[in-house]
Amino acid sequence: MLLPIILSGGSGSRLWPVSREQFPKQFQRLSSSEESLLQETVQRLAHLPGCAPPLVICNDQHRFLVADQLLSIGVSPTGILLEPIGRNTAPALALAAMAALGQHEDPVLLAMPADHVIRDGSAFASAVNQGLALIDAGQLVTFGIEPTHAHTGYGYIRCGAPLGSGHRVAAFVEKPDAGLAAQYLASGEYLWNSGIFLMRARHYLEELSRHAPDVLFACEAAFEGRAVDLDFMRIDAERFASCPDISIDYAVMERTQSAAVVPMSPGWSDIGSWDAVHALHADAEADGNATHGDVLLADTSNCLVRSESRLVAALGVQDLVIVETDDAVLVAHQSHAQKTREVVDILKAGKRSEPQMHRCVYRPWGHYRSVASDTGFQVKQIVVKPGAQLSLQMHHHRSEHWVVVAGTAKVTLGEGYGEVANLKSFLLGEDESTYIPQGTVHRLENPGLIPLRLIEVQTGDYLGEDDIVRFDDAYGRSGTEPTKPSLHGDH
């Protein structure tokens, strides 16, 4: 039994401002205009006939994004496992192995990051099949990418003695400087570390017990305290917090005597920075440029120019990364593309909201976009999916006006301040509106077959989204949640 494990816990800060903590790069369309990186990763499994549906590991705040994106491509996962906090890949795979052993005898786990690009699915499947032969020989397998140039942004694997269709792993090497990377390339002994692994569930846990027992102990305790929540499996947060933060490479692969590597060339990229995105698309346009969205170029070469919301024009520039969203613009030299995380760190230190979320915020019922905000008011565009509903809620400090732009809204209101016993419902059509006074219990629902679109105008002396009391929620969210700046509030 081959069970794919999709590791979807990253934040992708080097791809800011498109990738943000609440909507990171694995959910973005960066290599394709049709599918996100997560969806591409799952679709890649079609080249591996007979494998089980994937088990996805993600953090709690991304659970509905994962479920919705899988549903939209018609995939029902084996499960969605929720990490309460990020603890890197070694604990994540340990939890996956425990969950897998609860359903299968001793499956082979194919652990793949959700945010990589692989252009040649057949070449990838061929490498996996070569790896399966090494699994039968008792190996823990990783996959190394045959390098095309002296890249300084990847870790490397030094190949040891030949072993079947691969090699024993002689060493894992950290990201080198340019001179050392050139030596690695010239030697022919090194591969890029892909971060993709193949191993039997029991074998991995045995090796983890031998080389990182503290990781295994914490994961076993956290898994024992698991709970099922809708379609998700929640891990005990308090027990998992004691787990070390460590990668598979450090915890097991660098220490085990059973590590093997299979070389492959499937058109791989980890899309770890904007220069990697540029490299994916630069050969499709003149002068080495790569563009996305409403972009105008003149006398410009070797640039990545990406527009999300408006016209971006570049004139007489070379070797730049220009990325625009509706609330931020990044301009960087290509040589500094790997350092975008430094900008994110500065923003976090200033307690800015831009590292966490976009103006467009996705929720299990749909999404909303902040349109305008000032003292005493803010305006949002809300889109509710057919059949979906917001929580039954109230606010102590604000009132709301709703105007339906498209579709049909079912509105439920209480009769008095905080009143939940005598709720009444009514329908609103296009161009109709309603007013929800401060303290009124209310719910918004889309009973129709097309998306419901409306404009919400909030007024009050405090508009922070910690001013929300939930009485009932179809998605199991808590009554109140931590808040960010009110421009990007929750519903």
Residue 418 lies in a domain: yes
| Domain match, 181 and 316 both | no
Q: Using alpha carbons, list the distances in angstroms from residue 199 to 33, 118, 220.
A: 33, 20, 19
> d(Cα 92, Cα 391) in Å, to the nearest integer?
31
> d(Cα 392, Cα 423) in Å, to the nearest integer?
10
Q: How many domains is the chain partitioned into structurally?
A: 3
pLDDT at 43: 95
Q: Which of 253, 269, 285 is the last residue of a domain?
A: 269
| Domain match, 234 and 367 both | no
Enclosing domain of residue 469? 360-488
Interval 215-220 mean pLDDT: 97
Residue 395 lies in a domain: yes
Q: Which of 320, 347, 374 is the last residue of a domain?
A: 347
Q: Count how many residues are written for the chain.
A: 491
How do 409-417 and 469-472 pair as beta strands?
unpaired
Runs of H (alpha helix) within 59-160: 63-72, 89-101, 121-136
pLDDT at 153: 87
| Domain match, 278 and 259 both | no
pLDDT at 464: 83
263, pLDDT greater than 80: yes
End-to-end CA distance of the chain: 41
Local structure of 92: helix, strand or coil: helix
486, pLDDT greater than 80: no
- Say which DSSP state 107 is in: P
pLDDT at 327: 92
Residue 352 lies in a domain: no
Residue 355 lies in a domain: no
Interval 109-129 mean pLDDT: 96
| Range picked from 274-288, 336-350, 464-478 for highest mean pLDDT | 336-350
Residue 105 lies in a domain: yes
Output the DSSP codes for 173-209.
EPPP-HHHHHHHHHHT-EEEEEEEEEEEHHHHHHHHH
| Domain match, 259 and 368 both | no
* Cβ-proximal residues to 294 (8 Å cutoff; 6+ apart), any chain: 307, 310, 311, 312
pLDDT at 482: 33
pLDDT at 476: 77
Local structure of 457: helix, strand or coil: strand
> d(Cα 473, Cα 125) in Å, to the nearest integer?
42
Q: pLDDT for 354-408, tens place per residue? A: 999 888 888 889 999 989 889 999 999 999 999 999 999 999 999 999 999 999 9
Residue 284 lies in a domain: yes
Q: Which of 476, 354, 447, 244 has the alpha carbon at shortest distance from 13?
A: 354
Q: Give yes or no for a cis peptide into 107 (omega within 30° of 0).
A: no
What's 173's domain CATH number? 3.90.550.10
| Domain match, 202 and 317 both | no
481, pLDDT greater than 60: no
| Domain match, 108 and 31 both | yes
Interval 214-229 mean pLDDT: 95
pLDDT at 480: 38
| Range picked from 148-152, 244-248, 465-469, 485-489 for highest mean pLDDT | 244-248
Q: Label residue 375 exposed, middle or buried (CB < 10 Å: 0-12, 13-18, 19+).
A: exposed
486's tokens: 């009110």
| Domain match, 134 and 24 both | yes
| Domain match, 318 and 379 both | no
359's tokens: 């103006």
More confident residue, 219 or 463: 219
In degrees and rounded to multiples of 5, residue 191 shows phi and psi of: -125, 155
**Which is it for the CA torsion 273, 275, 276, 281, positive or negative?**
positive
| Domain match, 284 and 179 both | no
What's 431's domain CATH number? 2.60.120.10
Work out the angle at residue 426's Cα, subtended by the Cα atoms of residues 405 and 480, and round it to the nearest 5 degrees.
Answer: 80
pLDDT above 90 covers a percentage of the chain that reads 84
> d(Cα 377, Cα 400) in Å, to the nearest integer?
10
Q: Which of 210, 236, 207, 211 has the alpha carbon at shortest distance from 221?
A: 236
Under the banding of pLDDT at 50, 70 and 90, the label for residue 490 is low
| Domain match, 17 and 122 both | yes
Residue 353 lies in a domain: no
Q: Which of 229, 252, 269 is the last residue of a domain?
A: 269
Residue 341 lies in a domain: yes
| Domain match, 332 and 378 both | no
| Domain match, 69 and 147 both | yes
